[in-house]
Structure 1
Amino acid sequence: MTMMAGDDETQDRPRRGRSGRSERGGAAARRAARAGAGPGQQLTYIRRALKPYEVLDEEALALVEANADTVLEEIGIEFRDDPEALALWKEAGADVRGDRVHFPKGLCRQLLKTAPSVFTQHARNPERSVEIGGNATVFAPVYGPPFVRDLDGMRRYATIEDFRNFVKLAYMAPSIHHSGGTVCEPVDVPVNKRHLDMVFSHMRYSDKPFMGSVTAPDRAEDTVAMARILFGEDFVNQNTVVINLINANSPMVFDETMLGAAKVYARANQACIVTPFILAGAMSPVTVIGTLTQVLAEVMAGAAFTQLVRPGAPVLFGTFASSISMQSGAPTFGTPEPSLVSYGAAQLARRLGLPFRTGGSLTGSKIPDAQAADESANTLNSTVLAGTNFVLHAAGWLEGGLVSSYEKFMMDIDQLGMQQRMCEPLDVSENGQAMDAIREVGPGSHYLGCAHTQANFQTAFYRSSIADNNSFEQWAAEGEKTAAQRANQLARSWLETYQAPPLDPGIEEGLLDFIAKRKESMPDAFA
């Protein structure tokens, strides 16, 4: 990413008011100071006071569960090209026919009884550790895009520098609780070696919890080995320090890559998010109930498999649900049907006793515009209201997941802060009741100058870091900046002031030595 002074030099010039005087006075200076003041106090993961919004009644839940049992027993799930997985299922009592596994009714549910409903993912900074499950919600950044939209307005392939920048921004963001995983795909590093640089970036440039590599079993092994250097072997053996995304190849297939990574992490007692990747109409039926049936069957098979590998290994019920345009086949976001799938899947996860992952700030827009804001708000609202425990793609997602956007990242974390405030319990203390203010003001006056308002005004309402709520004249005097331009300015300011969290030099040396030896052990590969 090239750091430049600004998007447009004319935007930073003082505007003249009707009097001819410059209007960049105290108000503009205060706003500029706020923009460069840094991200503010870090927030812990959310402990939701809001009850989850539910769309399925008992009859509908029982129907979906019965249909999923039928899918598992009669149609089956393929575990492709993994003889060990098939042998484990056969030993457990499943009917294995080639790569297709048919599950007796109740088998998967019985196996899942050993999976924890709540667990802790430990961060290297204990204050950043997160609880996953129950009433907790954890926000994590975008995952997987090969492109970025940078601060100079360019859409281009991502680099390792972009990767580090997004890790730094996530570390600084108060409302991001997790460093995430593949925040973008650094294509300037060989495919077979980039996982080492990505995992190290999470470990070095952040002290929040992070995700591991799943693109090959040996890369998962490298992640676990690096975690043991960072945390200590005994600690990793007894605790969960890495969470990992295991996608089903919907419909109804798990391939050898995902199965291999799942086995590595489950055996090491590290968490797996078993997630069907659903574009309804292409990878699942077009109906909500039909999609929920397939999702439940796929998750139960994949999650139960982790318990075959190691009973008690942490596993999440995941789903990524989107609809498609029936005219173009492209994924669509922010529409009602995927939200209904998320609400229903969350209910099914709670009935299984598993933590739930879905959602984020999703959009098909190509730039951080009104479409992006609308679609992202719709998906994020339903994500939070569903009672989601782990939220992937919470910030930075653009262009249907093809792009990680710096500006969108900053706009999204502003929305995450609002959601965090929304989930807090209402203040019913004496101060929250505000009876002294009501008595002081009485009929016909106002609350602006009363003692209660003066004591609470700094924290009473959420203050957006992106939105402009000033008069037209003040907005014009400050350069007529759009929300995206203000987000751009904020991202630049954060990256300029970033300071890495401390890391023991001996641990850093051990990680770098491990990475060097692993890279020397294999030739570069870019495919």
Structure 2
Amino acid sequence: MVDEVEARPASRRRGRGGERARSGAPGQNPHLEVPFITRGIPPYDLADPEGLARIEATADRIMAEIGIEFREDPETVALFRKAGGTVTGLTAQSWNIRFEPGLIREMLRTAPARFTQHARNAARSVEIGGDAVVFAPSYGSPFVMDLDRGRRYGTIEDFANFIKLGQSSPWLHHSGGTICEPTDIAVNKRHLDMVLSHIRYSDRAFLGSITAPERAADSIEMCRILFGAEFVEKNCVIMGNFNTTSPLVMDGVSTRGIRIYAEAGQGSVHVPFLLGGAVSPLTMAGSVAHSLAESMVSCALTQLVRPGAPVVLGSFLSSMALRSGSPTFGTPEPALGSLVMGQLARRLNMPLRCAGNFSTSKLPDAQSMQQGVMSMMSAVQCGANFVLHSAGFLDGLLSMSYEKFMLDTDLCGALHGYLAGIAIDEDTLAFDALAEKGPGEHLFSTAHTMRHYKTAYYDSALDDNQPWETWDEQGGIDAATRANTRWKATLAAYEAPWLDPGIDAALQDFVERKKATMADAWY
């Protein structure tokens, strides 16, 4: 895959970001925006080598003795049969495929360990894999909510608003995908407006549609208009986020979509959405083994279609309230499972999407932040490279919250500083700061303090660190209310990034022509 920025035609490289910012210690400067984080701390290794080997052996047993069921896509079945899978017909449109231990791992050897997803502003292209960490907004909620209007179905206006809020935050690196469902547009047409909104209101990389093969193809075609067909053929400019149908099923809509992205040389993320005790074992070791098996098989399909196609191993582990059957998010057990998934991804030498900022709270309150921090810390500690659901997730993913979005992006800023690690050298050891005035003297005016005071600590845009008396005199405003004020001010100040008028017109023409060929479908 060609991933040099210089490969893009000059007419399509225009942007306002200049050269890519260095990402050594971004979290320490609130004015420094970087396209992704370069990890400065090591990921956490929870399981020992013997435990990891046992999980991998169980994943191999799942693939070899139980197999994966494939539905309504004989072309995919033929690819796996040719590659050595053992195929058994279940019905006319359903097949079980079993894979001998090591077969899927061999298919994955051509998957790149790291790749670039290009943005239309070259300074905002992202690296996915290795020591790179990319934060993206939450994905897939049918509802939106804010403190003024409460919970309601999402619209294309909400969709655009969240793109604008993400574009305005220096702490997100990626525009995301289905930030919320725009339910005021027909199901079979809304993908066109969604992709167009990402292109118009953000100059970052984004995810395309995966809800039908033709919608995946439309998403890629719009990128050919934006970047040029030759550039798209040689570079990753869009990704699709695909879920398996757990337990152990891959439906034809997903597998055909995966093949479309892979055929075009574009990226794809492969994520089993596992509810422990419902569609996956409730014990984390079993759930991790299950997740690994499904994701590996899904990823392997891309390499059968086009060896070297960009692909991301994924895992979404969650628990349940077993007395009621309700899903729970932000709990400690899936966080531990995510740490192990990180180790397994590194053993496969593949990029990882894992965990995020999860919560079942119905409001942007203490529960939402406690659960969100629990799961988000597991994402950064496990070594995840692409962190979807970094901002806005409430209500068990059913609702996208404006206030939670602002609170979460602020947390992402703090995590930039956390992931940067600690520099240890003569300057940071700061002997001169203590020696300048000696014992018993404050350090406010020392040369060392004056050199570093603007960048030493993360400066939150939302925290209130004033004394009680000052806070009380100013109205005693809580964090959610401050976030409400903040998102409104951010939208009021938003300016769209520059987009070539000719490209914009060509995209609009494509959307209008495609819509003209379709009657509205609302299901």
Q: What is the TM-score with the length of structure 2 in the denominator?
A: 0.92
1:278-315 C-alpha deviation (Å, 9 max, x unpaired): 11111110111111111111111111111111111111
Rounded to whole Å, the distance in 2 between the matches of 1:329 and 1:441 is 63
1:332-382 C-alpha deviation (Å, 9 max, x unpaired): 122221011101111111111110001111100000001001000111111
- The answer to whether the aligner puts 1:126 opposite 2:122 as a matched pair is yes
Rounded to whole Å, the distance in 2 between the matches of 1:417 and 1:240 is 27
Rounded to whole Å, the distance in 2 between the matches of 1:187 and 1:145 is 11
Matches within 5 A, 1:134-173: 134-150=130-146, 152-173=148-169
Rounded to whole Å, the distance in 2 between the matches of 1:220 and 1:353 is 27
Residue 386 of structure 1, CA deviation:
0.7
Could you tell me which residue of structure 2 aligns to residue 222 of structure 1?
Answer: 218
1:359-414 C-alpha deviation (Å, 9 max, x unpaired): 11110000000100100011111110111100000000000000000000000000
Matches within 5 A, 1:13-412: 40-98=31-89, 99-150=95-146, 152-412=148-408
1:90-131 C-alpha deviation (Å, 9 max, x unpaired): 111111001100112211111100000000000000110000
Secondary structure of the 1:50 match is coil
Rounded to whole Å, the distance in 1 between the matches of 2:415 and 2:211 is 32
Secondary structure of the 1:161 match is helix
Q: Is the 8 A contact 2:167 2:202 kept in 1?
A: yes
Rounded to whole Å, the distance in 2 between the matches of 1:464 and 1:261 is 41
1:277 corresponds to which letter in structure 2?
Answer: F
Rounded to whole Å, the distance in 1 between the matches of 2:275 and 2:168 is 33
Rounded to whole Å, the distance in 1 between the matches of 2:179 and 2:374 is 22
Residue 457 of structure 1, CA deviation:
1.4
Rounded to whole Å, the distance in 1 between the matches of 2:239 and 2:350 is 14
Q: Is the 8 A contact 2:146 2:484 kept in 1?
A: no
Moved more, 418-427 or 356-365: 418-427
Residue 151 of structure 1, CA deviation:
5.0
Rounded to whole Å, the distance in 1 between the matches of 2:512 and 2:197 is 14
- The answer to whether the aligner puts 1:475 opposite 2:495 as a matched pair is no
Among 411, 414, 420, the residue aligned to 1:415 = 411
Q: Is the 8 A contact 2:330 2:357 kept in 1?
A: no
Rounded to whole Å, the distance in 1 between the matches of 2:394 and 2:499 is 32
Rounded to whole Å, the distance in 2 between the matches of 1:245 and 1:268 is 15
- The answer to whether the aligner puts 1:504 opposite 2:495 as a matched pair is no
Gaps of 5+ in 2: 1-29, 90-94
Secondary structure of the 1:65 match is helix
1:166 corresponds to which letter in structure 2?
Answer: F
Among 430, 434, 438, the residue aligned to 2:434 = 438
Could you tell me which residue of structure 1 aligns to residue 20 of structure 2?
Answer: none
Rounded to whole Å, the distance in 1 between the matches of 2:423 and 2:223 is 40
Rounded to whole Å, the distance in 1 between the matches of 2:443 and 2:31 is 28
Moved more, 99-108 or 40-49: 40-49
Moved more, 514-523 or 97-106: 97-106
2:84 corresponds to which letter in structure 1?
Answer: G
Rounded to whole Å, the distance in 2 between the matches of 1:163 and 1:151 is 17
Secondary structure of the 1:323 match is strand
Rounded to whole Å, the distance in 2 between the matches of 1:507 and 1:256 is 33
Q: Is the 8 A contact 2:463 2:479 kept in 1?
A: yes
Residue 41 of structure 1, CA deviation:
4.2
1:311-339 C-alpha deviation (Å, 9 max, x unpaired): 11111110111100011111112222101
Q: Kindly, what percent of the aligned residue pairs are identical?
A: 51
Rounded to whole Å, the distance in 2 between the matches of 1:209 and 1:335 is 30
Secondary structure of the 1:319 match is strand
Rounded to whole Å, the distance in 1 between the matches of 2:512 and 2:32 is 36
Residue 51 of structure 1, CA deviation:
0.6
Rounded to whole Å, the distance in 1 between the matches of 2:105 and 2:330 is 32
Among 489, 494, 509, the residue aligned to 1:493 = 489
Rounded to whole Å, the distance in 2 between the matches of 1:507 and 1:150 is 34
1:138-168 C-alpha deviation (Å, 9 max, x unpaired): 0000100000003514110000000000000
After superposing on structure 2, the runs of 4+ consecutive aligned residues of structure 1 that deviate more than 6 Å are none
Rounded to whole Å, the distance in 1 between the matches of 2:294 and 2:35 is 32
Secondary structure of the 1:211 match is coil
2:459 corresponds to which letter in structure 1?
Answer: R
State the structure with more CA Rg: 1
Rounded to whole Å, the distance in 2 between the matches of 1:276 and 1:40 is 37
- The answer to whether the aligner puts 1:514 opposite 2:510 as a matched pair is yes
Residue 68 of structure 1, CA deviation:
1.0
Gaps of 5+ in 1: 1-38
Q: What is the TM-score with the length of structure 1 in the denominator?
A: 0.91
2:207 corresponds to which letter in structure 1?
Answer: M
Moved more, 404-413 or 151-160: 151-160
